[in-house]
Amino acid sequence: MYISEIQEFQKIRKEARAYFCYLLQRNLPNRLPNIGIDAIYEGLQRIIHEIPFANGAYILDAGGKQISKIITLKKEYEKYYIELNQSNRTYFYKAVKEKKCILTDPYPSLLGGDMVVSAAMPIFNDKGELLYVAVIDIPLKDLLKFVHKERGDTWVHNFNRVVYAIFAAALFAICVLLFVDGIKMFFTYTLQSIEVKKMFEATILITLSLALFDLVKTLLYEEVIGEKEEHPFAIHKTMIKFLGSIVIALAIEGLMLVFKFAMIAPHKLIYSAMLIGAVTALLVGLAYYMKSVGKDMK
Residue 84: what residue type? L
> What is the total residue count of the chain?
298
Whether the CB-CB separation of 101 and 83 falls below 8 Å is answered with: no
Q: Is the pLDDT of residue 193 over 80?
A: no
| More reliable by pLDDT, 195 or 139 | 139
**Confidence at residue 152, expressed as pLDDT on a 0 to 100 scale:** 56
Query: Left (φ > 0), alpha (ψ -120 to 50) or beta: where does 102 sit?
Result: beta
Q: Is the pLDDT of residue 234 over 60?
A: no
Q: C-alpha distances in angstroms, 236 versus 39, 208, 240?
A: 54, 19, 6
Backbone angles phi, psi at 209, to 5 degrees: -60, -40
235: part of which helix (H) or strand (E)? helix 234-264
| More reliable by pLDDT, 188 or 171 | 171
Identify the band that residue 173 occupies on the pLDDT scale cut at 50, 70 and 90: very high
CA angle 294, 295, 296 (to 5 degrees): 90
What are the pLDDT digits (tens) for 264-288? 778 888 888 888 888 888 888 878 8
pTM, two decimals, is 0.58
Strands 102-103 and 115-124 come out as: antiparallel
**Confidence at residue 91, expressed as pLDDT on a 0 to 100 scale:** 93
Identify the band that residue 232 occupies on the pLDDT scale cut at 50, 70 and 90: very low
| More reliable by pLDDT, 237 or 34 | 34
Q: Which percentage of the chain shows pLDDT scores above 70?
A: 83
What are the pLDDT digits (tens) for 64-123? 998 988 899 988 777 666 657 888 899 999 999 999 999 999 998 776 678 999 999 999
What are the pLDDT digits (tens) for 54-76? 999 999 999 999 898 889 998 87
Q: Is the pLDDT of residue 170 over 90?
A: yes
Mean pLDDT of the chain: 82
Angle between helices 2-27 and 140-151 (to 10 degrees): 70
Cα–Cα distance, 182 to 58 (Å, whole number): 65
